[in-house]
Amino acid sequence: MNHHATTSLPRIATLDCARGIAILGILLMNISAFGLPKAAYLNPAYLGIPPARDAWTWALLDLFAQAKFLAMFALLFGAGLQLLLHRGKVWIRARLSWLVLFGLGHAVFLWDGDILLAYGLIGLVCWRMIRDAKDTITLLKTGAVLYAIGIAVLLLLGLISHAEPGSFWQPGAAELQYEKFWKLQGGMEAWRSRLDLLSSSLLAIGAQYGWQLAGLMLFGAGLMRSGWLRNRYTPAHYRRLAAWLIPLSLLIQLPGVALQWHLNWDYRWSGFLLQVPRELGASLQAMGYLALVYGFWPTFSRWRISHWLTQVGRMALSNYLLQTLICTTLFYRFGLYQQFDRLQLLAFVPLVWLANLLFSKLWLRYFKQGPMEWLWRWLTAMAAGDNAQQKAN
């Protein structure tokens, strides 16, 4: 197995480290999606008014993690597309098409919380926009506009939605029982159920979420093109930006979180309208988190943990799928599903993180790339043919 890449650009350690942090951070939200019914992800009151500790756990995660690490990962994905432009359209198309297929397999056969399919599909739309943007400002402006359209659509959906919640927000006992059955049973029943869920999430991507994702990718590409994600600014610049962006994003989101709690997570408000401040704040906060990593990199890079996180980021796809394998095994195969509340589920997170860190460390001791990264590159090269290096327009 030849893991040596051809004509690779030198890796940017800060970028890899930030990607590693994003992959690990995503699990803070995903753990409740593994261990609890689907409705619990956004609605802590899916069974009625939650206990105070469950509500507090939800509130803190909503403020510091929900949508933040996904936004951070989307920015970095866009930055990666900018870096890959030199490969040419045949190679990029093949690479993103394989990501769509990985996502499809992941979403149907393993877990319904997949993000790979959305990233692949939106990436196929975005890479041309990134390539054709005449300058950095155009990329950043277009990214901001697309993100704003996504938020406007969310607002519109809130205004036209029915006041009565559907089963995805407030499931009945029979629906919760069936969800538990197919998750623990696995097999054809689970595949069929996940296929149903996939069709509704594809609708959401097309109607609303795809706009935001495209906006973040373009913005990330702009940050890469400007040199911001290449660590070309002073540490003081990044630290100053983090000091502004993170408090500002929290200020935007706090009223929304407090109102959701006050309104007992009412469907129309919490399902749509009060997600708007979170989505507005999430992009700023993701930028703030990135600025923190870059601003303290001169010190942070000397710590051993930064090297470990960088290795996790180098194997982002493998580590993302490893999280799914560990969590589906624990909760569905070993029957731990619905055995823990939101706070207790967080105890599993450091254990999975440890598995990610150790797996990356050991694997990269012997190979240049993660197993899925190698497979992805190999399949891309096969699909792109012998002219994988061409730079056709």
Task: Please write the tens of the pLDDT for every residue from 243-279.
Answer: 999 999 999 999 999 999 999 888 888 888 899 999 9
Domain ranges for the chain, please list them: 13-382
Give mean pLDDT, residues 131-154.
94
333: its two tokens = 């195969």
Task: Please write the tens of the pLDDT for every residue from 175-207.
Answer: 989 999 999 998 999 999 999 989 888 988 988
Mean pLDDT lowest for which of 45-49, 55-59, 237-241, 361-365? 45-49
C-alpha to C-alpha distance for 278 and 253, rounded to whole angstroms:
5
149: its two tokens = 């359209």
What's the pLDDT score for residue 79? 96
Band (pLDDT 50/70/90 cuts) for residue 7 is very low
Task: Please write the tens of the pLDDT for every residue from 286-338.
Answer: 999 999 999 999 999 999 999 999 999 999 999 999 999 999 999 999 999 99
C-alpha to C-alpha distance for 331 and 377, rounded to whole angstroms:
31
Q: What is the mean pLDDT of the chain?
A: 91
Please answer whether residues 238 and 253 qualify as being in contact, where contact means their C-beta atoms are separated by less than 8 angstroms.
no
Decide if pLDDT at 390 tops 60: no
C-alpha to C-alpha distance for 161 and 152, rounded to whole angstroms:
14
Decide if pLDDT at 1 tops 60: no
What's the pLDDT score for residue 163? 66
Band (pLDDT 50/70/90 cuts) for residue 168 is confident
Task: Please write the tens of the pLDDT for every residue from 70-87.
Answer: 999 999 999 999 999 999
Encode 23-34 in three state secondary structure.
HHHHHHHHHHHH
Band (pLDDT 50/70/90 cuts) for residue 388 is very low
Give mean pLDDT, residues 125-140.
94
What's the pLDDT score for residue 158? 85
Question: How big is the CA angle at 72 (ends 66 and 74), to the nearest 5 degrees?
Answer: 105
276: its two tokens = 């708007």
DSSP characters over 77-95? HHHHHHHHGGG-HHHHHHH
What's the pLDDT score for residue 165? 67
